[in-house]
Structure 1
Amino acid sequence: MGRQLTSTFHEVGQVEREQALALNLTNVSKTFGVTKALDGVSLQVRKGSIHALLGANGSGKSTLVKIIAGVESADHGSQVEAGGRTVAGHHTSPAFARETGIHVVHQDPAVFGHLSVADNLAIGRAAGYDAGLVAPIRERRVHRHTRAVLDRFGLDIDPKTPVAALGPGARAMLAIARVLQDQEQDTGGVLILDEPTASLPSAEADQLIATLQRWAAAGQAIVYVTHRLDEVTRMADTVTVLRDGAHVTTRQAAGLTEEDLVELIVGRSVAEAFPPSRPIVDAEPLLEVRGLCSGRIQDLSFDVRRGEILGIGGLLGSGRTTLLSTLFGVRQPAAGEIRLDGEPLAAGGIRAAIRRGIVMVPEDRSREAALPGLTTRENLSASRVSRYWRRGRLDHRLEAREARGSIAEFLVRVASDAQPFHTLSGGNQQKVILARWLRLTPGLILLDEPTQGVDAGARAEIYRLVRTAVDAGASAIVVSSDPEELAKMADRVLVISRGKLSAELTAPAVTAHRIVEASFGSAHPHEERERP
């Protein structure tokens, strides 16, 4: 991805780019049963622009993208215009999208790791391998086409390289090249990207953003769906915000701050969305850790006070997740002592930790916490199934009644408690998993990247739920790679660097800058603590 784009992109005058519409949606609505997913949304995307599409989980973004791509049809009364053609919204189709140059790259780009780069590009072509049913694959022709596409998109990759050997950024760029490879015009159609940087390291995300900016400057229309608001303020020309299926605003991105965007997305200010942090000074410690050694963690000592949210900052691989896994009994420490409520936390694994009032929401919810084949109700009940056993049978009425209560209490947006878990948005899935554990009234809540892949609205709700639990008597340890987030919600932050404590920051001295500085080992333990 390091090479500059070649001159194959057509030069388009600034005036023409500002005036020409690449995509025009009018009065798009979509109803699923009794749920109004979209309500009269209109959207205009201009050539040569990056148009950010924002909104909380459940705001209608995904449904709108599906209608544009022809995967879903809109209700009667809407209109979609693209590629010089106009069709009623209820007549959109994948064929219409393909013929008008609409291309969608989803958050999981669905590349095939065991196949080569050339094979992946061939699978994405209408002509495939350009061979008949019984004719052999023309490998030289496929190789030449692949090389031309890679050169066009600035990808310095051998066509024979297995995709599994590529980095995340190169895989994302390959997915984009695959959908755009057969465009007759290098900057024709509309490119829709859904969370393209969600799994990318910051350096590769920056490279992708720079590439998209060059494409837009050359005339490409790009719709950019993201939860990363810093990217919007850096690169977007126009911003459209949806809330609860309705259009909130479309405006120029210039001059908008992340705080402005949060307020537009959630409908209230950042101060209202994030409960204020406060230093906890006089409270007794709930958790005492002394000389802990586990994996990358080396001789780590700290306390967690009652009623406190303790943030854990640091770089990937610094030992943050290892710390939480050790506290939750997933792994046994090599040395050190852990005391909870003044009593040693004896070895005994996860069951023993839960019995002592410790719960954990892991980083990878889909693999380590979710039960995707079950309903929302069953996912909520998973932490205390025994409660619903009555004379050898499950009391489904009690289970359903308590599930509905939790859905209301924890702000989960679902059609009913019987809705399949896998159909929920990422933010609502995370709230269900959090609710599963908070129903137990735990003493210590461990949260590993709790807002990863979650929109601004759900993020604020998750932290308000955590703050409510803490105000009711619990304590929480939160690992986050987002220093701004830690600065907003933690009462105190420990920064771990190379497995050791790098700094301890206490509100109001907690800032994103200090967290980042300490993450790279440029601070000393405890030097940032507020002194009376």
Structure 2
Amino acid sequence: MSDTGPALRLRGISKSFDGVRVLRGVDVSITRGTVHALLGGNGSGKSTTLKVVAGVYRGDPGGVVEVFGTPHPADSFSPQQAHRAGLRFVHQDLGLVDDLSVAANFGLVSGFPQRLGAVRWRALHERTARELAAAGLDIAPQAPVRALRPSDRTRVAIARALQDDDGGHPLVLVLDEPTASLPHHEVDELLEELRRRREQGHTIVYVSHRIPEVLAVADDLTVLRDGVVAYSGPVSGLTEDHVIAMMTGLAAEQAAPAARTPRAPTTAAPLLRVSGLCTAGLGPLDLEVRPGEVVGVAGLLGSGRSRLLGLLAGQVPRTSGSVQLAGREIHHRSPRAALADGVACVPEDRARDAAFPDRPLWENVSAIAFPRYARWWGADRRAERRDAVKAAAGFAVHAAHGEVPFASLSGGNQQKAVLARATWTSPRLLLLDEPSQGVDAMARRDIHSFIHRHVDGHDRAALVVSSDFVELAALCDRVLVLRDGRLRAELTGAELHESAIALAVHQDREDPR
């Protein structure tokens, strides 16, 4: 491992899929011992670049991935070579097993010390304790991962990636959207951890859509747009507006999501009325959503916010209580039954719960409406494909053609495709869990616009769960705050801003009502 030169250098990195060139001669040089941010809109080539660096994708011939002075041809670089070269990765899905202890999660990567075929748990706990202490984490090795705060989970994943298995040499740590699911008050803790790792000599490649975080922690940044480098240089002197303009090619005000104009109070009968609703970890709960409303649901992890959507979507069984949609009692026992009643859900984890990754884009969009193309002689797949491609285009999904595998789309395009599918049957109640998590400014603007378009002027409404309080304030007419499975506050009017939502979410005392 050379002691001079950049930690990571990409030279002439290109990548093509089915004749479509996604990356076109990307050149980036990342200085040792710095935090270097990598930004780009959905479809910019950012994710493809990371996968080439990780050896998951083979680059086109001629490109070079140089790590600590050692060049590697991009068209033959493998994950094993990336690891040996000193590259470490922590993805947005941290790869931690919730039901295992912290020590066992470390052992999954570094191996389990054994004697006579039996795991030496004491040795594993001692080794893990040293790594946790070195990371400044006051966490017991025996602690179950599911009991950790979100920021501590991320810090544990970082500590696991940087285990001293490489002779103590500084490493290149690539973090992909590490703060996407963190509450805002825990983000600062993670950024401080990155600064500490930088001081230890490690090099951090930081991927995020949250531009203020990038400006706060990064020394340098590279912006990709349409598969080429739009900017690569120091952060000093840049503003958020500068970065947005480089990412999108538009002025910042054009890229910003349009704020929701709160609806005037209405005397219309509620579209959704929930009374005394209970299930494990939720309730009793009473709430109403009126036609044309976008109602936000805020709360910390474990507050019951996602469980509420799951219950309304027929994914979680109800133990008691009443749910009425447009005045009619509904009792969904499956997502199919909910959909038949006009309730559609976009889940938080689209890759796991809302996608067929290896199937083409058009099949992912049309899956919800397949029965309408059934004929006596079979399925009219030609009409189904035509309509699905049209629906995807209506939601600004950017793809070379309808046959593109869903997994090859950028995160923002995947999310818009899932939203196109959810709204295909014009559901009366649209349930959205973290609808713009991990997408860029332009995709977020599109998604907000589509949600407003779906409910405005129709007998429809949307219920939105989000960890992003700025998003809730911009998108919603009202915000409901859950804590310990109960409704603790309702924010409207002048209260509907980021700081008020954050205060209500983290407030320990109960609403006296």
TM-score (norm: length of structure 2): 0.82
Map of 2:291 onto structure 1: 305
Asked if 2 retains the 8 angstrom alpha-carbon contact of 1:262 and 1:270, the reply is: no
Measured at CA, do residues 199 and 484 of structure 1 come closer, stay the same or move farther in structure 2, by a change above 3 Å?
A: closer
Q: 1:481 Cα deviation (Å)?
A: 1.9
Q: 208, 211, 214: which is aligned to 1:226?
A: 208
**Counterpart residue identity of residue 230, structure 2:** V
Measured at CA, do residues 406 and 86 of structure 1 come closer, stay the same or move farther in structure 2, by a change above 3 Å?
A: same
Deviations, residues 400-422 of structure 1 (Å, cap 9, x unaligned)? 11111112112223343333434
SS of aligned partner of 2:355: coil
- Aligned equivalents of 2:55, 2:357: Cα separation in 1: 26
SS of aligned partner of 1:517: helix
Q: 492, 498, 511: which is aligned to 1:505?
A: 492
SS of aligned partner of 1:57: coil
Measured at CA, do residues 305 and 526 of structure 1 come closer, stay the same or move farther in structure 2, by a change above 3 Å?
A: farther
SS of aligned partner of 2:7: strand
Is 2:425 aligned against 1:440? yes
**Counterpart residue identity of residue 212, structure 1:** L
- Aligned equivalents of 2:338, 2:113: Cα separation in 1: 59
Map of 2:247 onto structure 1: 265
Q: 1:85 Cα deviation (Å)?
A: 2.5
Measured at CA, do residues 401 and 64 of structure 1 come closer, stay the same or move farther in structure 2, by a change above 3 Å?
A: same
Is 2:305 aligned against 1:320? yes
- Aligned equivalents of 1:252, 1:177: Cα separation in 2: 27
Is 2:452 aligned against 1:470? no
Measured at CA, do residues 524 and 38 of structure 1 come closer, stay the same or move farther in structure 2, by a change above 3 Å?
A: same
Is 2:158 aligned against 1:176? yes
**Counterpart residue identity of residue 465, structure 1:** F
Map of 2:31 onto structure 1: 46
Deviations, residues 77-112 of structure 1 (Å, cap 9, x unaligned)? 434333123344445444653454222233334356
Measured at CA, do residues 431 and 154 of structure 1 come closer, stay the same or move farther in structure 2, by a change above 3 Å?
A: same
Measured at CA, do residues 291 and 451 of structure 1 come closer, stay the same or move farther in structure 2, by a change above 3 Å?
A: closer
Deviations, residues 375-411 of structure 1 (Å, cap 9, x unaligned)? 4333222222221111141111111111111121122
Q: Report the count of equivalent residues.
A: 502
Q: 312, 325, 328: which is aligned to 1:344?
A: 328
Asked if 2 retains the 8 angstrom alpha-carbon contact of 1:504 and 1:526, the reply is: no
- Aligned equivalents of 1:283, 1:118: Cα separation in 2: 55
**Counterpart residue identity of residue 334, structure 1:** S
Asked if 2 retains the 8 angstrom alpha-carbon contact of 1:50 and 1:224, the reply is: yes
Map of 2:196 onto structure 1: 214
**Counterpart residue identity of residue 250, structure 1:** S
Map of 1:276 onto structure 2: 259
Q: 268, 272, 276: which is aligned to 1:293?
A: 276
Measured at CA, do residues 261 and 497 of structure 1 come closer, stay the same or move farther in structure 2, by a change above 3 Å?
A: farther
Map of 1:73 onto structure 2: 58
Asked if 2 retains the 8 angstrom alpha-carbon contact of 1:299 and 1:336, the reply is: no
Q: 344, 358, 366: which is aligned to 1:359?
A: 344
Is 2:502 aligned against 1:519? no
Q: 1:166 Cα deviation (Å)?
A: 6.3
Q: 1:519 Cα deviation (Å)?
A: 2.8
Asked if 2 retains the 8 angstrom alpha-carbon contact of 1:83 and 1:189, the reply is: no
Q: 1:292 Cα deviation (Å)?
A: 1.8
- Aligned equivalents of 1:32, 1:523: Cα separation in 2: 55
- Aligned equivalents of 1:492, 1:402: Cα separation in 2: 34
Larger deviation: 418-427 or 62-71? 418-427
SS of aligned partner of 1:305: coil
SS of aligned partner of 1:383: helix
Asked if 2 retains the 8 angstrom alpha-carbon contact of 1:285 and 1:303, the reply is: no
Deviations, residues 16-64 of structure 1 (Å, cap 9, x unaligned)? x9x9522222332211222222122221211221111122333212221
SS of aligned partner of 2:492: strand
Is 2:468 aligned against 1:486? no
**Counterpart residue identity of residue 402, structure 1:** D
- Aligned equivalents of 2:300, 2:410: Cα separation in 1: 28
Map of 1:430 onto structure 2: 415
Asked if 1 retains the 8 angstrom alpha-carbon contact of 2:6 and 2:68, the reply is: no
SS of aligned partner of 1:406: helix
Q: 1:204 Cα deviation (Å)?
A: 5.7
Tell me, which stretches of 5 or more residues in structure 1 are unaligned?
1-16, 528-532
Deviations, residues 325-382 of structure 1 (Å, cap 9, x unaligned)? 4544555483456351xx3344455556434433222334344433445443332222
Measured at CA, do residues 123 and 320 of structure 1 come closer, stay the same or move farther in structure 2, by a change above 3 Å?
A: closer
- Aligned equivalents of 2:117, 2:41: Cα separation in 1: 50
Larger deviation: 387-396 or 169-178? 169-178
Is 2:228 aligned against 1:246? yes
Tell me, which stretches of 5 or more residues in structure 2 are unaligned?
none
**Counterpart residue identity of residue 22, structure 1:** A
Q: How does 1:180-195 map to 2 (within 5 A)?
A: 180=162, 181-186=164-169, 188-195=170-177
Deviations, residues 421-465 of structure 1 (Å, cap 9, x unaligned)? 344333333222211121212333222221233333322221122
Map of 2:436 onto structure 1: 451
SS of aligned partner of 1:467: helix
- Aligned equivalents of 1:177, 1:276: Cα separation in 2: 39
**Counterpart residue identity of residue 320, structure 2:** A
Larger deviation: 29-38 or 418-427? 418-427
**Counterpart residue identity of residue 219, structure 1:** G
**Counterpart residue identity of residue 262, structure 2:** P
Asked if 1 retains the 8 angstrom alpha-carbon contact of 2:291 and 2:455, the reply is: no
**Counterpart residue identity of residue 502, structure 1:** A
SS of aligned partner of 2:431: strand
Measured at CA, do residues 382 and 302 of structure 1 come closer, stay the same or move farther in structure 2, by a change above 3 Å?
A: same
Asked if 1 retains the 8 angstrom alpha-carbon contact of 2:97 and 2:145, the reply is: yes
Measured at CA, do residues 267 and 338 of structure 1 come closer, stay the same or move farther in structure 2, by a change above 3 Å?
A: farther
- Aligned equivalents of 1:444, 1:159: Cα separation in 2: 44
Measured at CA, do residues 523 and 36 of structure 1 come closer, stay the same or move farther in structure 2, by a change above 3 Å?
A: farther
Measured at CA, do residues 71 and 472 of structure 1 come closer, stay the same or move farther in structure 2, by a change above 3 Å?
A: same
TM-score (norm: length of structure 1): 0.80
SS of aligned partner of 1:488: helix
Larger deviation: 140-149 or 230-239? 140-149
**Counterpart residue identity of residue 158, structure 2:** I
Asked if 2 retains the 8 angstrom alpha-carbon contact of 1:294 and 1:323, the reply is: no
- Aligned equivalents of 1:88, 1:373: Cα separation in 2: 28
Q: How does 1:68-217 map to 2 (within 5 A)?
A: 68-94=53-79, 96-111=81-96, 124=109, 149-155=131-137, 169=151, 172-180=154-162, 181-186=164-169, 188-200=170-182, 205-217=187-199
- Aligned equivalents of 1:522, 1:131: Cα separation in 2: 46
**Counterpart residue identity of residue 227, structure 2:** G
SS of aligned partner of 1:210: helix
Structure of higher CA gyration radius = 1
- Aligned equivalents of 1:510, 1:194: Cα separation in 2: 31
